[in-house]
Each structure stands twice: as C-alpha cells, then as structure tokens.
Structure 1
Amino acid sequence: MIHFSLHCDNDHDFEGWFRSNDDFDAQVEKRLVTCPVCGSYKVEKALMAPSVTTGRQKEKIAVAMSKMVSELKEMAQKVRENADYVGNDFAEEARKIHFGEAKQRGIYGEATGEEVKSLLDDGVDVMPLPVFPEEHN
C-alpha cells in the first residue's frame, strides 16, 4: 500500500492509501476518490517529503493495517448480511430506490465503472464493497 497526501480544488488536504500509483489514477478517473470535507471529485496528489521508516514504525503500521483490514472485512460482512444482493442489476435498482420507484433498502451487487460514474452524476450515493482474496477461494 502507498500513502498519498491529497489535495482537492477547494484547498482541503487529506490522506489516502492505494495499492499503486496506477490504482490511484484509475480511482480518480472513475470518480471514486472524493474530498472528505467538501465531496469534490477534483483530487490530486500533494507534494510529499520522503520519510524513513524504522523497524518499530513498520511494526506499528503492520498492526494498524491488520486492524483496518479486519474492520473492512467486518463492515463488508455486515452489508452482505443486512442488504439485498441484486447482482448485475445494481445500477438500475440503486437508481429506482433513489428516485422512489422501489422500496428503500440496502442493496449490493456489481456495477461497471461507467455505471458507477452515471449513478454519481445522478446524485446516487454509492461506495465500493471490498472483496478480499480469500473470498475468491
């Protein structure tokens, strides 16, 4: 994981973790990275000073990352237990719920990047549900 200092077009600074520089670029292009203060999609990397990590710091980071992954797994499991799986109909069903054409409820499923962008453009709040390697076994 790579830690980036980020900056939005409204002069808010924040941080984010990404698998790679390409992963950051892809998520920004799909409008999946937003400013936590104002919600702006116009986010870019801020200048960062290089840092040197000691063994003790690496251990703390590993513990923090492990805790974060555990919390993400728990959150994803709760969503799967308490929401309706709608498969490839996610975008259509999310839009129906948003516009009051279907019963208000939690849903999850699959959507293409283009579908996600279209939902966000329509004001439909969505977020990716993490999938972990062990879920593919």
Structure 2
Amino acid sequence: MIRFALKCDHDHCFESWFQSGSAFDKVKSAGMVSCPACGSTDVVKTLMSPQVQTARKATKEGETPQTDASSLPVPSDKSEFFQKPSKELEAKIAALKAHVEATSDYVGKNFAKEARAMHEGDTPERTIYGEANMAEALSLIEDGISVAPLPFIPARKTN
C-alpha cells in the first residue's frame, strides 16, 4: 500500500491510500478518485516525501521508542472522543452519511446486481448504496451505470 498526497483543480489537498501507483492511475482514469471537499475528479498527485523509518533510526542504543501523547487531543468527556467529529469536513461527511442512510436502501454486497437490475428495468428505480469491488464498479461504469464511492463505511459495517 502507498499513500499519495493529492490535489484537485480547486487547490484542495488531501491524501489517499492505493495498492500501487498503477492502481491509482487505473482508478483515476475510471473517474473514481474525487476530492472529499468539492467532489472534483480532476485530481493530480503532488510532491510528497516518503515516511520510512528504519530500525536503526527508530531507537538509539538500548532506548525504547516512546510515543509523545502530549499532542493527542483529550476530550473532557471521553465518551465523546469517538462520537463527535473533530473537524468541519468530518462533520459534513457525518451529515452526508446520515442523509444517505435515511434516504437510501442499503443493499450490501448485492450493490452491483441491484444497480444493474434497476438500469435494465428489471427492478423499480430507487436510491441504493452498498458494496462493490473494483471489478464490479468498473463494469457498471463501462455499461453506463452511474456509481460513486462514498467517503464513509456504512453503519452495518462498523464494529
């Protein structure tokens, strides 16, 4: 896995993980890489530095690596730590998730099958969301069926 620093045509900077450089190129050419701030698919890789830490640099002779916890946020009510978004973008994603879950049907791993059935007229059209692997998503796009990745994990998939 490799993390790329990315930038859209509206100068929004963000990062994303990909299996490889060629995987990024393939997903980008399919129009499946989009800016989380504005949704633009005109995205390019930007200058980034590798973050590789060798065992020799990780510790000096006989020292144990230490984590500096002083920079981590500590909420007054610890139950809020995993419930409240910490940034405006996270709040917008949380609102989008709530909207999608309230107005759409979750079809799970049957997403590609359901989307294709609606496109072919075998099933009444409705708003759905679910899961599809890369091959299924690319096949839907090639057949002219509009799909888009969501910037969150469906509630049914979280622990």
TM bucket (normalised to shorter chain) is 0.5 to 0.7
| Alignment partner, residue 33 of structure 2 | 33
Partner-residue secondary structure (3-state), 2:123: coil
Alpha carbons 1:91, 1:115 under 8 Å: kept: yes
Deviation of the 1:112 alpha carbon: 0.7
In 1: Cα distance, 2:108 partner to 2:98 partner: 16
| 1:5/1:47 contact within 8 Å kept | no
Indicate the structure with greater helix content.
1
2:115 aligned with 1:118: no
- The one-character-per-residue Cα deviations of 1:68-111 (angstroms, maximum 9, x if unpaired) are 11111111121111111111110011111122221110011111
Question: Are the equivalent residues in 2 in contact too, given 1:18–1:24 (CA < 8 A)?
Answer: no
Q: Residue 5 of structure 1 aligns with which residue?
A: 7
Name the TM-score, length of structure 2 as normaliser. Answer: 0.53
Name the residue aligned to 1:92: 113
C-alpha spacing 1:110/1:28, structure 2 compared with 1 (3 Å)? same
Identity of aligned residues (%): 32
Aligned AA (2:6): F
Q: CA RMSD in A?
A: 3.4
User: Structure 1 residue 18: deviation in Å?
Assistant: 2.1
How many residue pairs are counted as aligned between the two chains?
110
Residues 1:107 and 2:128 are matched in the alignment: yes
SS at structure 1 position matched to 2:149: coil
Amino acid at match of 2:45: K
**For 2:7, what is the secondary structure of its paired residue?**
strand
Aligned to 1:17: 14
Alpha-carbon distance in structure 2 between the residues aligned to 1:103 and 1:19: 35
Aligned 8 A contact 2:6 2:44 in 1: no
Ranges in structure 1 where 5+ consecutive residues have no aligned partner: 7-12, 49-64
- Alignment-mate amino acid for residue 136 of structure 1: T
Give secondary structure in 2 for the equivalent of 1:33. Answer: coil
| Cα offset, 1:116, TM superposition | 0.6
Instruction: Tell me the distance in 1 between the aligned counterparts of 2:6 and 2:20.
Output: 9
The one-letter amino acid of 2:7's match is: S
Counterparts of 1:119 and 1:80, CA distance in 2: 22
